[in-house]
Amino acid sequence: MENFMLWGEQKLEIGRILEALFTENQFMAAMIVDDKGRIVSISETYLKVLNLSREEVIGRPAKEITPHTRVMNVLKNGKAVVGYNWRINDHNMIASTIPIIQEGMVVGAFAYSVFMDIWNAQDTIENLITEINMYKDEVDNLYKAKYSFDDIIGKNEAFRKVKKFARQVAQHTISTVLLCGESGTGKELFAQAIHNQSSRSRFPFLRINCAAIPENLLEAELFGYEEGAFTGAKKGGKPGKFELANGGTIFLDEIGEMTLTMQSKLLVALQEQEIERLGGRHPIKVNVRVIAASNKNLENMIESGIFREDLYYRLNVVRLDLPPLRKRADDIPLLCQHIITHLNCRLHTGTKKISSSALEMLSTYAWPGNVRELENVLERAMILADMEKTQVLDERHFMFIKKQLDLCRAAHDQQNLKNAVREFERDLIEKALQDADYDRVKAAELLGIDLSTLYRKLKKYGYSA
């Protein structure tokens, strides 16, 4: 056997190399066929995969042993087939077949397969695909608005009015919109729907969460920067969200979290309709519709001097107040239905409906996290029901919010008691006044209270003094 020079003084026999590669390699299954496609040599690993002995295999046509083999094609065409996927006895393999050519003639073929499962290659690939999809979603989310008005569910009177107004705003104006509402009331949903319904829908929709980005980065995020603007600035600079959103909409979420300095810079950009990149020398014209959102009371913030009044007026051209879920409890059944359908797809659950007693229970809850909380609560309940193999959500599936529910109920009952007492008192006073021919001194006597107390109560119930 010829010696094979590697480097320096090291010498390895080619035969030894082949043996190591071919016979001892546990990660590769290999065989050699002759020009007729008959197996002349096969590795231990391949035999193990086939679950056959050497005697059962040698001399037999490869096609009989592994029907998927490509050796016949390779022998016929003299061309290698590299990297095809196949599956044998629960193993995923990546296979290649190479012709063996001697003096211009195809004299045989070398076929080898690598186990994907041994490498964990399949997991790796699956993970990569999941990751790629995640980035795709991210990119889509970055520049596109997913939701339209049809995705906004609600029949409640007040809610419908807001939705109708938002639709008109989207269609008929290009003005700045301020969305106010507690967290989870659908501010982002409305922002996307407004963009999608507007003439700007073909242009980008960009969201920026002012609370999530530290102040020193927020300016660069919004307005971009030039090369060398600061240490670590990317070569060639970077456009900000205002530039990227040109022609479209920028959604400034949690605007109340912006510092006063940034507020001034934003105000200038809105007034001038142009921005200046950090370290830049020229203003850049931008045509962007601004939708801002806040779950904080901006008026109070103005009073405390932490929100600029002029910026507030600039943003508050059109204002939409999204009601909290507890003020539109009549929408809970409809929302549940909508959310259950969505979650069934995502969770692969088979929830069909929610019982009326469960719905009644959910209606008494205060929902501090609004629709987002309703989504989370339903998700948990659906998983619990699924584990029980039940298709109907019932009160027992919501026991994890029982404590909060009881608190809400107690507050609710207390409110009811107060109201009942008030009504009773009011009726008594009304009756006493009638009996006393509206003589207040007599009425106080009938009621057994001081005149001054009667006056106080009359005032409380809205009678003129």
Min CB(183)–ligand ADP separation in Å: 5
Query: Is the CB of 292 or the CB of 336 nearer to Mg ion?
Result: 292
* Binding partner at 186 among Mg ion, ligand ADP, none, C-beta below 5 to 8 Å by kind: ligand ADP
Q: Map the footprint of ligand ADP across residues 338-357, applying CB under 6 A.
A: 338
Q: Is 178 in the site for ligand ADP (CB under 6 A)?
A: no
Q: Is 323 in the site for ligand ADP (CB under 6 A)?
A: no
Query: Is the CB of 110 or the CB of 251 nearer to Mg ion?
Result: 251
Alpha helices (runs of H) in 99-229, residue ranges in sequence order: 116-119, 121-143, 157-172, 187-197, 215-223
SS3 for 268? helix
Query: Is the CB of 43 or the CB of 351 nearer to ligand ADP?
Result: 351
Min CB(329)–ligand ADP separation in Å: 13
Longest dimension (CA), the chain: 130
Q: Three-class SS string for 306-325? A: CCCHHHHHHHCCEEEECCCH
Query: Using the rule CB under 6 A, which residue among 37, 99, 108, 181 binds ligand ADP?
Result: 181
Min CB(181)–ligand ADP separation in Å: 6
Q: Map the footprint of Mg ion across residues 164-193, applying CB under 5 A.
A: 188
Residue that the structure tokens 């912006």 belong to: 258
One character per residue 122-161, x = contact with ligand ADP (rule: CB under 6 A): ------------------------------xxx-------
Min CB(186)–Mg ion separation in Å: 9
Distance from C-alpha of 117 to C-alpha of 392, rounded to nearest angstrom: 41
One character per residue 354-373, x = contact with ligand ADP (rule: CB under 6 A): -----------------xx-
C-alpha neighbours within 13 Å on the C-beta side of residue 345: 5
Min CB(187)–Mg ion separation in Å: 5
Min CB(328)–ligand ADP separation in Å: 9
Min CB(205)–Mg ion separation in Å: 14
CA nearest to 288, candidates 310, 309, 266: 266
Crossing angle, helix 157-172 and helix 187-197, to 10 degrees?
40
CA nearest to 280, candidates 237, 311, 219: 237
Q: Is 324 in the site for ligand ADP (CB under 6 A)?
A: no
Number of residues that bind Mg ion (CB under 5 A): 1
* Binding partner at 243 among Mg ion, ligand ADP, none, C-beta below 5 to 8 Å by kind: none
Query: Is the CB of 106 or the CB of 153 nearer to ligand ADP?
Result: 153
Query: Is the CB of 39 or the CB of 218 nearer to Mg ion?
Result: 218
Beta-sheet strand order (sheet of 39-42): 39-42, 28-34, 105-115, 91-102, 81-88
- How far from 46 is each of 16, 38, 57, 83, 444, CA to CA, in Å? 19, 15, 11, 17, 106
Distance from C-alpha of 328 to C-alpha of 191, rounded to nearest angstrom: 20
* Binding partner at 221 among Mg ion, ligand ADP, none, C-beta below 5 to 8 Å by kind: none
CA nearest to 443, candidates 456, 427, 454: 454
Query: Using the rule CB under 6 A, which residue among 226, 375, 386, 395 binds ligand ADP?
Result: 375
Query: Is the CB of 188 or the CB of 243 nearer to Mg ion?
Result: 188
Residue 331's contacts (CB-CB under 8 Å, 6 or more residues apart) are: 153, 154, 155, 156, 159, 325
CB neighbour burial string for 342-370, b if at least 16 within 10 angstroms, e if fewer: ebeeeeebebeebeeebbebbeebbbebb
Residues forming contacts to Mg ion in the complex (CB under 5 A) are: 188
Residues forming contacts to ligand ADP in the complex (CB under 6 A) are: 152-154, 181, 183-189, 338, 371-372, 375
